[in-house]
Amino acid sequence: MNAGAGTTGCPSAWYVAFFDGERPHWWWRLCKPGFRHVAAFGYCAEQAVWLLYDVTLKRTFIHVLTSEQMDQWVAELPGNRTIVHMPARDTPPVRRVGFWCTPAVAHLLGAPSRALRPEGLYRDLMALGARPAFSSEPS
């Protein structure tokens, strides 16, 4: 099933959270602080729940959360987080290289991004019309 705008039961927009992950990894040296991990969440109005999509080294997590649980998850993110709001897109599939947080979230959003790191995805999403949400833009 397509996760695009107008699809029954799917978010009409996604929030994309950029932040530092649970523990340092060797590739953190390659990433800008605050942009070492990315996850996405969206509200399903018909079911009155939030979907949280988080691809980690351990596995891919898809959580169904209440509004209170979602508020708690956002509140527990590191202070140097950046969250943007991105309308859902109905776009043709784009080839992806790899399956880690950055290409996985780009695929979920239907974003034509070839970014390999979260900061590259952030730049691509902003160019596609994403807007800051829950926090200010990074400097």
37-68 pLDDT per residue, tens:
999 999 999 999 999 999 988 899 999 999 99
34 alpha carbon, distance to own chain's centre: 13
Sign of the C-alpha dihedral, residues 21, 91, 125, 44? negative
Is 61 part of any domain?
yes
pLDDT attached to residue 82: 95
Confidence (pTM): 0.84
Mean pLDDT of 3-14: 66
pLDDT band for position 135 (50/70/90)?
Answer: low
Position 2 in a domain: no
In a domain, 27, yes or no: yes
**Would residue 85 count as lying in a domain?**
yes
Measuring CA to CA, how many Å separate 44 from each of 49, 53, 59, 104, 116? 5, 13, 23, 20, 28
Q: Which residues constitute the domain of residue 18?
A: 13-133
Task: Enter the tokens of residue 69.
Answer: 């649980």
